[in-house]
C-alpha cells in the first residue's frame, strides 16, 4: 500500500494534530504524516510533532503583513518540497486565499466545531447555547474558498445539556473531533470519499440507524 503524504497546518497546541498522528501510526492507515507546519513560531504542537519524529516547519505570517498570497506561496513551496499529497488544517488560524485553496482542490480538509452548515465561523459553542439547540457537534469537510462551506465528509454529534457552558460543551465536542478527523483522513486518503456535484459521497458503510434524540424520553 502506497501511503499518501500528509501535511498538517497548525497555529496552536494541535490536539487534533495529535489525534491524526496517533491514528497514522497504525500499519493499515492509508496516510503518513510527514510534515507539521505552523504560521506561529513556538506553537505548542510543533514540539509535540517533533517528539513524534515528524519534521516541522515554521513560516510566520506576520512578516508578510497583508500580502496573504505571498505568505501562502512560501507555504506552498514548503509543501511541494515535501511532496505533499493531502493537507489537513488543525486549528490553523488563517483565512486562505482562493489561490491557495485552488492548489489543493479536493486535497485539503478541515475540522470545524459545529454541525455545518449551522454555525460557520467563530464562537460556535456560545452561539449554539444561545440558540438553545439540543444537539451540537463537529464536522470534517473539504476546503473551498468559502469559509466552512465545503463538502462534508464526516460529522459527529453530542447532546447539549441544560447546564452546559461553552467550555463543557466544547470539551465533549473536542472528544468527537478526535474521533472523526482520523476517520475522515482515512476515507480521503484511501479514495473512499470523493466529491460529486459539490457533495461528498462515501463508499464506506454508513453508521447504524440508531437515532440520537435529545432530550431523551
Helix (H) or strand (E) holding 208: none
Of 37, 72, 40, 79, residue with least CA distance to 54: 37
How would you class 52 by CB atoms within 10 Å of its CB: exposed for 0-12, middle for 13-18, buried for 19 or more?
A: middle
96 is in an annotated binding site: yes
Closest CA to 190 of 175, 206, 211, 204: 204
174 annotated as belonging to a binding site for a ligand: no
Confirm or deny that 95 is annotated as ligand binding: yes
Please indicate if the annotation marks 25 as binding a ligand: no
14 annotated as ligand-binding: yes
Q: Are 182 and 19 in contact (CB under 8 A)?
A: yes
Catalytic residue among 82, 112, 123, 178: 112
* 39 among annotated binding-site residues: no
Residue 129 is assigned to a ligand binding site: no
Q: What distance in Å separates the CA atoms of residue 62 and residue 84, rounded to the nearest whole number?
A: 24
Q: Examine the residue annotation and report whether 112 is marked as an active-site residue of this protein.
A: yes
Burial category of 119 from C-beta neighbours within 10 Å (exposed 0-12, middle 13-18, buried 19 and up): buried
- 46 is annotated as contributing to ligand binding: no
Does the annotation list 93 as a binding residue? yes
Binding residues for (6R)-10-formyltetrahydrofolate: 68, 93-96, 110
The residues annotated with a catalytic role in the active site are 112
Annotated binding site, which residues?
A: 14-16, 68, 93-96, 110
Amino acid at each position: 500500500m502506497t501511503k499518501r503524504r500528509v501535511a498538517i497546518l497548525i497555529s496552536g497546541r494541535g490536539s487534533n494534530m495529535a489525534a491524526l498522528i496517533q491514528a497514522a501510526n497504525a500499519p493499515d492507515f492509508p496516510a503518513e504524516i510527514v510534515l507539521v507546519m505552523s504560521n506561529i513560531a513556538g506553537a505548542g504542537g510543533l514540539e509535540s510533532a517533533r517528539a513524534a519524529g515528524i519534521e516541522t516547519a515554521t513560516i510566520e505570517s506576520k512578516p508578510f503583513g497583508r500580502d496573504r498570497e505571498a505568505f501562502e506561496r512560501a507555504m506552498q513551496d514548503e509543501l511541494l518540497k515535501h511532496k505533499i499529497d493531502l493537507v489537513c488544517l488543525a486549528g490553523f488560524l488563517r483565512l486562505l486565499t482562493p489561490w491557495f485553496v485552488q492548489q489543493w482542490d479536493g486535497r485539503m480538509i478541515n475540522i470545524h466545531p459545529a454541525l455545518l452548515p449551522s454555525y460557520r465561523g467563530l464562537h460556535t459553542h456560545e452561539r449554539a447555547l444561545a440558540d438553545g439547540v439540543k444537539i451540537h457537534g463537529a464536522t470534517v469537510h473539504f476546503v473551498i474558498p468559502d469559509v466552512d462551506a465545503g463538502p462534508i465528509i464526516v460529522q459527529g454529534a453530542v447532546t447539549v445539556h441544560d447546564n452546559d457552558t461553552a467550555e463543557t460543551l466544547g470539551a465533549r465536542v473536542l472528544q468527537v473531533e478526535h474521533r472523526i478527523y482520523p476517520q475522515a483522513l482515512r476515507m480521503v486518503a484511501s479514495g473512499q470519499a470523493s466529491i460529486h456535484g459539490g457533495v461528498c459521497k462515501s463508499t464506506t458503510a454508513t453508521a447504524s440507524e440508531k437515532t440520537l434524540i435529545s432530550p431523551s424520553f
